[in-house]
Structure 1
Amino acid sequence: MVLRNSTRLSLLGMTSFIALAAFPSLAAAQDEVSAEQDEGGVSTIIVTAQRRDENVQDVPIAISAFNQEELARRGISNALEVAQFVPNLVGLNNTGLGTANAYYLRGIGNTESIATFDPPIGTYVDDIYLSRQNANNLSLFDVNRVEVLRGPQGTLFGRNTTGGAVNVFLNEPGDEFAGYVELGYGSYDQKLARASIDVPLADSFAVKVSGYWQNDDGYAINNLTGERTNENDGWGVRLGLRGELSDTARWTGSYIHTFADSANLLNFDCDPTNPANCDGRFVATGLTENGTFDSAIFGPLLTGDKNGYGLGNRATMDFISSNLEFELSPDWTLNIITGFVDIGQKFALDFADGRGLPSTSNPVPPVVGFTFGGFTISNEGEHTQFTQEVKFTGSIADGLIDVVGGVYYFYEDNRTDFGDIFSLNLGPGGPPPDGFPLILADRTLTNTAEAWAGYLQADINLTEQLTVTAGIRYTDEEKTFDIRDNRARVGNSSLCRAAAQFGPSTCIDTVNLIATNGRAIPTKQSVDLWTPRFAINYAVTDDVLLFASATRGFKSGGWNARGTSPTELLPFGPETAWSYEVGAKTELLDRRVRFNVTGFWLDVSDLQTPSAFIRPNGSLAFITRNFADYENKGVEIEITTVPVEGLNLFASVGYQDDEYVIDANAPALDEFGVQAVAAQQADCLNQLAAGRLPNAAGADNAPACGVGIVAPDGSIAEPVRTPDWTVAIGGSYDAEFGDFTLTPSINANWRSDSEVGTSEVTLFDQSVTGPSGAVFPSNTLGLGNPIDPASGSFSPDRWIVNASLTLKNVAGWSLIAECRNCFDEEAVESALANFSYLNPPRTWMVRAKYDF
């Protein structure tokens, strides 16, 4: 404990040193700099966090903002990499899906991508909300800036922002003919091409055409099949338009099409087929890229096109945005903002590496290489959304009151056709590689969401220094849910049959949605609520702003659509959050140092928590419920400094202390017959007292332990992906040599240990004996050492270091050499079914770029 605290203090000291070390240089250069104050110092970033243009330092909200220069300086090339530099933000690729980002900000997040779940961190592109996580790992090839708003944004951004918002703004077409071309080559035979060109067609109209293409072999190798996987292939094009229609009207719009072929399959640092080989990343599934789900014995296992999918994940997105702006008067502006998004996704992913799932009875399942995977989901999704917003901004009484308000409409339509296969090594399927493919489910889900909202915020400028803010949003939303089993019916009954199924089973169908207590599961949810915001800010000087705020946000309810029986398709309600912040935004020493600090307290009711566990038959079960309330409190510090011309240093520190809060007096069963967490915890403690073992098999099992948010030892589990500490430090220096500029850049980010699995289940290597006398070779009680390769939810602390070297010529040429995760640090990012998912390994790339 002493060592750990010393490490944390050292990190804090290191971060503060970046700013303090610059002070002597700043003092000496004070007189020289003052005359050039507007040109030197930290860069000014204009943001729209309050839906109008403002200096980021004037906004009483915790924001991390990155303009084009800063994105390039830190080597950020996609939306996921931004997370490394934001305090108390954890970003990761979803399990299996390389196209989907999951964000956890101040402990609020969601790893689910199925359409009945909504992400609590909203992603916006040019003010257009992206409701699905399936394709939100945006390649930042034509981006002007990225804003990360920490904390609920329920007043100005609306639904599904209980944790915050990631806002991406694209470059508008320029007034002059200009652009760039870029080519790159890197590790795993990665090839990259990017280009953009601005074409002014008239004084009042211009277009921008840009695009990218990337391809690589994949960093993980399968020595069973000879294939490589976990590639990051794709391409995208964008047409940007800008028209100055008159002196008081302008229009901007974009059309974007992207295609991504990117997976994040379970992989290991040592080859499961040859554990002595630990040089690389390895998978061992028998499912192949060109494979299908056609069984020689049972015929097609799944229905529809998804039966022909091979291993991989492919997503396409078409994005259309339009912003028509009218200047109604010198003080008032009206914007009509329209968006359309169409996402298609096709994947077949093996979440069990072609074998059984780890358990206390079998902690390291032997390699089998099942042809159809160990636990496989094959999915075809179609997701469309339309948004329409009318926004107005202006001021009243000669600037006494600044106003932003509007109305917002949202409609979403989703269709998901997906099937689950669990392979067993028994029955008429015979021995591996085919095994016996048990079809857990094959169904088509359709669901819609429609919402209306109105919002209004007023900033009352009581004096030149003191501003009071009040805002309110009203949202009225309705969701519908319908599901249809794809398997053939037995006559006209509610039973259905699959060729590879043990006899008939109850169809997963809307008409059969009945909970275990006999209550009908609703197929419609409606909610209407108010989300206010209050803030006060005081400008001590032009360079020091103090602020405090209270903000409410909410996230829509949904259904546990990954269930494989009708009784599991339960609804969960909305989650709501209140966030309280106090902070200071400062620019010191002639803008050579920017120092921002925020303290927060987050209070969430009915937190939506996805969880997964292994059933007694060895298959994987999913459940999402409003298990508990949630509280988090912490501090965030961000420092940027330019001590001398050309030298840019930054640091950020986040600290958080969070916990689930359960209702100790809740009824033992809820309205759908699901046990309350308090009752489950009591049962778990009783089972442990009787000598039963968590996550074991048969009569020795303590079934209430290590499930949901009850940990194996009977305690309430730690919230997931909320490391106590997150730290980022880095810098760059522009060294000029005549017509050339050489810029070395380095950054490192650290986070303390955390849990990444809801139930805190990690397998340890000490054997334990159950009440029946059965001996289990591993346990989940923390006895012994973690199983290697890692099986479970514990993520140790880790450093990730990135670096680059750029040589730039005044003629427009530049050459960039870079590495990411330069020291090849391995870190557990996620866990599913007792398997651990690692971060990507070290990669490098050399790029050549020409600006014209």
Structure 2
Amino acid sequence: MQFTKKLPNYLAGIVTGLFVLSFVGTQYDLSIVSKAQAQATDEIIVTARKRSESIQDVPVAVSALSAAQLEKGNIPMTQDLGKLTPNVVLHDMAYAGAGLSASIRGLNYDDTEKSNDPAVGVTIDGVFAANNGGVNLDLFDVESIEVLRGPQGTLYGRNTIGGVINIKRSKPTRELGAKFQVGVEEDNTQDLQAVVNFPIGDRAGLKVAVRDLTADNWMYNVTNQRTDKDFKDVQSHSIRLEADITDNITIDLIYDDIDDQSQRNNLAITSNTQPFTFCTGIPVATPPIPADALKCASASADLSRANDYSTTYDLIPQFMTYETENLTMNLEIDLGNHTLKSITGDQDSEELFTIVSWGSPTPVFPVTREISFDQTSQEFQLLSDYDGPLNYVLGYYYLDATFDQKSGPVQNFVSGQELEATAIFGEVSYDISDEWTATLGLRYTEEEKDFFVRNFAPLAQGVADATAFQRTGATPAGGFRNAVDQIYEDDYIQHRFIIERNFDTGMAYASISNGFRSGGIFARCTDPVTCAPFGTEEVINYEAGLRLEPSDALVFNVTAFMADYKDKQEQVTTNGLVCGNPAEATCTFSLNAAEVSISGLELESRYYPSESLSLNATIGILDADYDSYDDGGVDISDIAKLRMAPEVTFNLGFDYDVSLPGGDLTLSGSFNGRDSYWGQANWKTFNFAQGPNIEVDSYESLDLSASFRTETSNGNQIKVIIFGNDILEEGGRIARPFDAGAFAFAAPAKRQHFGMKIGYEF
């Protein structure tokens, strides 16, 4: 059942009430709130346009989350940000190192390959990530996060057709001090965090941050009759030095080292009623039980669902390890009425992907993949700071990103790519009058992708040939099954035009912008057809927003948008027979096949009825449909489903502060949820009646926490946080289903989770 069909009446009432409240507040200034109470509202500063501005003055759809909000809401990873932001769906990309599948307003990329660019950009301390690996971070030592919705390419990165997640970590305090925190949670979770700050003279500071996080598996493995220990295993270290070289020049150096040796859960969802390679169609309950039937949903996902997804049946757990070293250097020069910024980033990472049974109690499709990735980027920004009507941002951006991977033993290949991209960009704002402001942004990008792939024979001989080729470049005696060397070049002009009208209680704006996601060649292609280049896709976004602050106690924002999604890149995965591989293998075709129309509404509000109580609400409504989808000359737009695009997302929250004799107590709550949405399948051949279940059910979650802070006699602080996430539902849920043609699988996510954090700060 669609969530929209069972949407509670009170939710519709809240939406209506917020509209009425905003109107009443505009007319009567909400005199029910005293001036003393009004002081509860703190101005939220964001850098959505590369300069510090109040969020209510920014003509961009942006949600801002502070470190305190993340802590109170127990938002431990990037993927959890989707709870609090409208029309945003995030989940763990369990088949990439620290990978993130991100969807904003239905625009997403949900695969592992680094040959394809993400639809949602992620920046960490100003550095844009070139792929979706390594960005599902454990949110530790974070200062703030901004989630920008809609194309942001005129100011951010390269391909940001869906939006940007902008993560900023805390800077050195330049004072001697430390924060220590111990987390004790379910599943034998132990989370040790330490941040120590040192002053270096009067002009510099050093910060050292360390984290050690381990947890056992929350799912019981029935096949192996055990709970896997140290299922999550992450160690990270960070050193940050900030120094004022002169009165006008500041340098910020960051070194990160992350070692993630975690595992993942999988469930087989291959249908027993459809003639998949791994299923015979004979019910498991009918003796004799076919060996292939043990690889299907009846021996995995069906059993797990009956146990509220608290059990798994993997013969061999999936390992997805990730190791990386990152260097970041931010240089800022104050030139009086200008600021010059230099942002340099360097990343060197290694991933090892090992999966054999894909959630089944027997081996299915063994894959071992070694991936190395390197990224170097340089960005310059010149920001004006005039008192007059004209201000601007000008910039230059360069990116060099390289990956190499070796895969086997069923599909043996080596592939790699070197990407070079350069861009010049700028955004100019002009105050036409005291009420009207116009903004124009442009970005010109040139890029080149130098791609190669070599496909080898399956199994043992192919492994040997692939290893020899990777080490020495030796051609196999029998030649390659497929070999591609190709350069893909592209250039593109992005634009954004905004007109805004300011008035006493807020601001209204309208904008038009576009974004692109460049083409290329899919990295695990297997033959000349699947290795054919796919082209650039484009989004044109029309947006109108209203930012209201009718009183010091109420903020109410509404954004409406429409988007035309053209030449949409579709990755269609089938069984291996379609491309000359064994039946148990897979093929992935990359097509510029589709046109999509997207429209929606986003509501965000904060209300302070008293100095102690604050209420917040976010609601996202999305309507996204294929206009056309040409797959091999057949238009399947009437049956194809846009993945990761729920019709409704919402969050209703509160914070209540209580002063106690021994300290301050904050009670926080969040009731959030989303409508059902679809995973990925080959819609041209998908059997909706008999195929695997690749629709993610709608769900709601109630999260509660209590935070107590007290001060010792010498001025040090102690905090205790007790939290429960999704407290009404035990077990788990399906987060990411995928139909690979030959077989289908799904990644589960935990629901109910309780824990406590104890911190000490001086």
TM-score relative to the length of structure 2:
0.86
| 1:483 corresponding residue in structure 2 | 453
Would the aligned equivalents of 1:762 and 1:793 in 2 still touch at CA under 8 Å?
no
What one-letter code is carried by the residue in structure 1 that aligns with 2:633?
A
Q: Contact 1:477 / 1:527 at 8 angstroms: preserved in 2? A: yes
Question: Alpha carbons of 1:78 and 1:275: their partners in 2 closer, same or farther (altered >3 Å)?
Answer: closer
Structure 1 residue aligned with 2:518: 556
CA 1:561–1:2 in structure 2 vs 1: closer, same or farther (change >3 Å)? closer
Aligned equivalents of 1:107 and 1:2: distance in 2? 17
Structure 2 residue corresponding to 1:657, chosen from 616, 623, 638 = 623
> Which is worse superposed, 472-481 or 754-763?
754-763
| 820-829 or 137-146: bigger deviation | 820-829
Amino acid at match of 1:464: D
Q: Distance in 1 between matches of 2:206 and 2:466?
A: 55
- Aligned residue in 1 for 2:239: 239
Q: How does 1:3-152 map to 2 (within 5 A)?
A: 5=5, 7=7, 9-14=9-14, 30=31, 33-34=34-35, 37=38, 40-97=39-96, 99-152=98-151
In structure 2, C-alpha distance between the alignment counterparts of 1:624 and 1:221, rounded to whole Å: 37
- 1:752 offset after TM fit, Å? 1.4
- Distance in 1 between residues matched to 2:420 and 2:84, nearest whole Å: 35
* Match of residue 316 from structure 2: 287
Task: State the AA in 1 paired with 2:597.
Answer: E
CA distance in 2, matches of 1:53, 1:28: 27
1:192 Cα shift?
0.6
Matches within 5 A, 1:156-175: 156-175=155-174
Residue 644 (structure 1) shift = 1.0
1:450 to partner: Cα distance: 0.2
Which runs of structure 2 are paired with 1:359-438 in the superposition (5 Å)? 369-370=361-362, 373-395=363-385, 398-419=387-408
Residues 1:743 and 2:648 aligned together: no
Distance change >3 Å, CA 754–CA 279, structure 1 → 2 = closer
**For the residues of structure 1 that align with 2:220 and 2:260, how far apart are their CA atoms?**
20
DSSP-derived class of the 1:523 partner = strand
Q: Aligned partners of 1:496, 1:781: CA distance in 2, in Å? A: 39
The DSSP-based 3-state class of the residue aligned with 2:267 is: coil
Provide the rounded CA distance (Å) in 1 between the counterparts of 2:750 and 2:588. Answer: 26
Q: 5 Å matches for 1:768-807? A: 780-782=687-689, 791-807=692-708
Tell whether 2:500 aligns with 1:537.
yes
Partner of 1:721: 644
CA distance in 2: counterparts of 1:124 and 1:383, whole angstroms: 17
Q: Is the 8 A contact 1:266 1:836 kept in 2?
A: yes
The aligned counterpart of 1:679 is: 633
How big is each residue's C-alpha offset from its partner over 1:243-279, in whole Å with a ceiling of 9 and x where there is no partner? Answer: 1122211111211111222333313899947949726
Is the alpha carbon distance of 1:554 and 1:800 closer, same or farther for their aligned partners in structure 2, counting shifts above 3 Å?
same
1:33/1:3 CA distance change after superposition, 3 Å: closer
1:313 aligns with 2:320: yes
Partners of 2:671 and 2:702 within 8 A in 1: yes
Is the Cα–Cα contact under 8 Å of residues 752 and 797 in structure 1 kept in the other structure? yes
1:496·1:504 contact (CA, 8 Å) conserved in 2?
A: no
Selected match of 1:845 from 755, 759, 762: 755
- Where do 1:264-343 residues align within 5 Å? 264-267=264-267, 272=299, 275=303, 278=307, 281-287=310-316, 311-329=318-336, 331-343=337-349
Measured in 1, the distance between the counterparts of 2:547 and 2:459 equals: 64
What whole-Å deviation, never above 9, does each CA across 1:513-551 have from its counterpart, x for those lacking one?
A: 4xxxxxxxx61111111101100111112x401111111
Aligned match of 2:424? 454
TM-superposed CA distance for 1:486, in Å, is: 5.8
Return the letter of the residue paired with 2:491. Answer: D
Percent identity over the alignment is 24
Deviation at 1:16, TM superposition (A): 5.4
Q: Following TM superposition, by how much is the alpha carbon of 1:52 offset from its aligned partner in structure 2, in angstroms?
A: 1.2
Partner Cα separation in structure 1 for residue 664 and residue 97 of structure 2: 35
- Displacement of 1:615 in angstroms is 4.8
Matches within 5 A, 1:631-642: 631-642=597-608
Kindly provide the amino acid, as one letter, of the partner of residue 115 in structure 1.
K
Of residues 194-203 and 147-156 in structure 1, the stretch that sits farther from structure 2 once superposed is 194-203
Q: Deviations over 1:582-633 (max 9, x none)?
A: 001122322x111111000111211122332345634433333222122201
Please tell me whether the aligned partners of residues 37 and 611 of structure 2 are also in contact (alpha carbons under 8 angstroms): no
Unmatched tracts of structure 2, length 5 or more: 270-296, 469-475, 578-582
1:447-497 superposed Cα distances (whole Å, 9 cap, x missing partner): 010011101111011122211001111101000101234669999xxx999
Displacement of 1:24:
11
TM-fit CA distance, 1:636? 0.4
Q: Is 1:585–2:547 an aligned residue pair? A: yes
CA distance in 2, matches of 1:126, 1:532: 24
- Residue in structure 2 matched with residue 666 of structure 1 by the alignment: none
Is 1:528 aligned with 2:491? yes
1:610 and 2:571 aligned: yes
Query: Structure 2 vs 1, CA of residues 844 and 15 (structure 1 numbering), >3 Å: closer, same or farther?
Result: farther
Letter paired with 2:661: G
Residues of 2 paired with 1:395 and 1:809: CA distance? 41
Q: 1:23 to 1:738 in 2, by over 3 A?
A: farther
Change (3 A) 1:25 1:720: closer
Q: For residues 459 and 662 of structure 2, what CA distance do their matches in structure 1 show?
A: 75
For 1:303, the equivalent position in structure 2 comes to none
Equivalent residue, structure 2, for 1:445: 415
Structure 1 residues 489 and 275 mapped into 2: Cα distance closer, same or farther (>3 Å)? closer
SS at match of 1:375: coil
How far apart are residue 285 of structure 1 and its match? 2.9
Max Rg structure: 1
Supply the distance in 1 between the matched residues of 2:589 and 2:235 (Cα, whole angstroms). Answer: 35
Tell me which residue corresponds to 1:569. Answer: 531
1:723 shift after superposition: 1.0
Structure-1-length-normalised TM-score: 0.77
Aligned 8 A contact 1:98 1:264 in 2: no
Structure 1 residues 316-369: Cα deviation after superposition (integer angstroms, max 9, x where no partner): 12221111111112x111111111112211120246324xxxxxxxxxxxxxx3
Q: Distance in 2 between matches of 1:264 and 1:623?
A: 27
Q: Spell out, residue by residue over 1:98-120, the C-alpha distance to the aligned partner (whole angstroms, 9 max, x if none).
A: 72111110110011121111111
Note if 1:596 corresponds to 2:546.
no
| 1:781 positional shift | 4.1
Tell me the CA shift for residue 41 of structure 1.
3.0
Task: Please list every run of 5 or more consecutive structure 1 residues that lacks an aligned counterpart in the other structure.
Answer: 289-310, 355-368, 422-438, 514-521, 664-675, 682-709, 764-779
Separation of aligned partners in 2, 1:576 and 1:138: 28
Cα gap change, 1:8 to 1:721, in 2 (>3 Å): farther
2:735 corresponds to which residue?
A: 829
Q: 1:797 to 1:126 in 2, by over 3 A?
A: same
Q: Are 2:681 and 2:738, in contact at CA under 8 Å, matched by a contact in 1?
A: no
Q: How many residues align?
A: 707
- How far apart, in 2, do the equivalents of 1:835 and 1:268 lie? 4
Residues in 2 aligned to 1:849 and 1:762: alpha-carbon distance in whole angstroms: 54
Is the CA contact 2:180–2:193 (under 8 Å) kept in the aligned structure 1? Answer: yes
Cα distance 1:271–1:588, how it changes in 2: closer, same or farther (>3 A)? farther
Report the alpha carbon displacement of residue 231 of structure 1 after superposing the two structures with TM.
2.8
Q: Which amino acid aligns with 2:668?
A: S
- Root-mean-square deviation (CA, aligned residues, Å) is 3.2
